Amino acid sequence: MRRRDAGLVLCGALLLLAGCSTANDDAVPSGVAEPSASSTAGGGATADWQSRLDADVAAAVADGTVPGFAMAHVAADREATVAVGGQRSYDDATPLGVDAPFHLGSDTKAMTAVLLGTFVEEGALDLDASLGELFPEAALAEPTASVTLRDVLGHRAGLSDDLLDLDALHAAPDASVARAGAVLAALGAAGEPGTFAYANVGYMLAGTVAERIGGASWEELITGRVFAPLGMDCGFGAPTGSDAPLGHQADGTVIGGDDPITDNPAALGPAGTVHCPMASWAAFATSVLDGLRGDDSPVLAAVTAADLFGGHQDYVAGWSLLEEEGQHIWAHDGSNTVWYARAVLLVERDEVLLLAANTGEQAAVDAMDRLTESFLAEG
């Protein structure tokens, strides 16, 4: 893909603020399960996609370097196809079912942006409101005081993650209070706005704004205002349950439910702690694609989506914009370093492609790169 600017398809480097992917040449699972597949409807075209995704998922886990892998596709007729394969972890050969939840990392950011859009739709929020207006208690100086929420959602606010203390955030008894404190600290140390600089704290700020307007926690608000209207069955932090996939460190170490740190602090939630089954994630991605195409969705009217995705920036509302051969491609990667996820929206083709793995190691990223390029080449 040709990028319109540097650093467009990005993941939020969350866990320990490390990079999106890591290499692992040593860990090999004891066995590989066959893919478990499902579709929302029958028919020839859907059957073709089911066969394709089944084969793609099976290939991704075939050599054992990726424990679990999942894909979803949504066609222009809105038929969704899901395939999940592999096993729970390198140490646990329990096969993954079609409803297995995968951690989405920074693909959560797009959900937080849509949450803000629901308040815009109600007239309770203006994306062009300044940080000085939104955080009067911070007594912000210029130029930070004039930075807008729209700038924040585009990572152009001059904010940095440098002051985030993950240990302190993990220990904080109240995620919302800790999040607000981290946001105020980042605002006080903000640099010159205008230049793209990826910062998780910007979406923590967005979550704090939502909490102040909505009078509830970010988790409650996004569940009630985004997940529920779309029929999504999603949660926060590392997936739990005896058959849920587990994350993996670069050296193959399994990050299980008994690990003291299975995910980023809850305070970072709006920037990247959601997990979802693939069908639920597909419902969300479809709602965004509808908005990009000028159609209403259960969470955003077309006019609100136009406001949220307006302008001519390369990064907007949790998505990077790329162009290839006349196609407008909105994409984003997410990882907390022990999971990896990728979302791709093709506006003109009116299609969605989603990929996820329960490891952030290079083998998973390579598989996603290969499958993404194949998908895009078909246009």
- Concatenated DSSP letters of 9-56: S---B-GGG--S-B--SS---S--PPPEEEESS-SHHHHHHHHHHHHH
* pLDDT value at residue 299: 97
pTM for this one?
A: 0.88
* pLDDT value at residue 46: 59
Say what percent of the chain tops pLDDT 70.
86
Nearest in space to 288 (alpha carbons), one of 248, 233, 230? 230
* pLDDT value at residue 17: 27
Mean residue pLDDT across the chain: 87
CA–CA separation, 110 vs 114, rounded Å? 6
Confidence grade of residue 38 (pLDDT, cut at 50, 70, 90): low
Confidence grade of residue 326 (pLDDT, cut at 50, 70, 90): confident
Q: How many CB atoms lie within 10 A of CB 174?
A: 12
CA–CA separation, 337 vs 339, rounded Å? 6
Distance set, CA 268 to CA 39, 97, 181, 207, 237 (Å): 33, 28, 12, 9, 10
Nearest in space to 158 (alpha carbons), one of 126, 198, 129, 128? 198
Phi/psi of residue 70, each to 5°? -145, 150
Q: What single DSSP character describes residue 97? A: P
pLDDT at 11 over 60: no
Average pLDDT of the residues in 67-82: 96
* pLDDT value at residue 41: 42
Q: Token pair of 371, please?
A: 């499958």
Strands (E), the chain: 36-39, 68-74, 80-86, 101-103, 235-236, 247-248, 254-255, 274-277, 315-316, 319-324, 327-334, 340-346, 351-357
CA–CA separation, 57 vs 318, rounded Å? 26
DSSP string, 109-168: HHHHHHHHHHHHHTTS--TT-BHHHH-GGG-PPTTGGG-BHHHHHTT-S---STT--HHH
* pLDDT value at residue 254: 85
* pLDDT value at residue 62: 94
Least confident of 7-11, 49-53, 258-262: 7-11
